[in-house]
Amino acid sequence: YQQLSLIDNDRMTATEVLQRTEENMRILGPNYDRLERDLLNPLVKRAYGILFRAGMILPPPEGIAGDPFVYESPMARAQRLNDLTSINQGIAVLAPLIQMKPDITDTIDLDEIAREAWKLSGVSPSAIRDAKEVQAIRQERNAAMMAAQEAQMAQALAKAGKDASQADPGAGLLGALTGAMGG
């Protein structure tokens, strides 16, 4: 990141900054991954185990037991942003294909992509609805849309029946019923 401050050009575009940052990530990324995997993860797990056995901390809640640690260093955040860039690039590649063949989206779990993008952007997990909540919201929305469509159809049928009976009293529903009864 110090390379950005060494640049003579004080009018860099955001794209140039991103490209330089990505270049630094490509150089430093493998070293950081190795450091995280070989040093930090075992160190944190060991410290947690010692503190847990000593009774100084409680066991993790069931929902997160066994989940890997998430590091919040500038490098870790930059790597997550790099993952977000990959998602954006993937979507950009697919956009023209989706225009040509919309059902190609069936191969993609768009909800999962959205959740992952929110997480990578640094949005608090508590702000992201879980799959059950999303399903309930969608069912509610679909039920409301169906009710609105049914009401619209009933209104259209009533109007058509009214128009038909005004044009020819014998042509309405009442006329059809009396005609069927022989009256």
Higher pLDDT, 105 or 159: 105
Q: What is the pLDDT of residue 83?
A: 81
- Angle between helix 173-180 and 131-167 (nearest 10): 70
Q: What is the pLDDT of residue 1?
A: 47
Record the tokens describing residue 129, joined without a space: 């609805």
Record the tokens describing residue 116, joined without a space: 């992952």
Could you read off the pLDDT of 13-38 as tens digits, one per residue?
877 877 777 777 778 777 888 888 89
Summary mean pLDDT of the chain: 80
- Predicted TM-score (pTM) of the model is 0.53
Residue 55's Cβ-side half-sphere holds a number of Cα atoms within 13 Å equal to: 0
Residue 161 burial (CB < 10 Å; 0-12/13-18/19+)? middle
Query: Over 80: is that where the pLDDT of 140 sits?
Result: yes
Give the span between the Cα atoms of 58 and 52, in whole angstroms: 6
Higher pLDDT, 177 or 110: 110
Residue with tokens 């969608």: 138
pLDDT band at 12 (very low <50, low <70, confident <90, very high): confident
pLDDT band at 135 (very low <50, low <70, confident <90, very high): very high
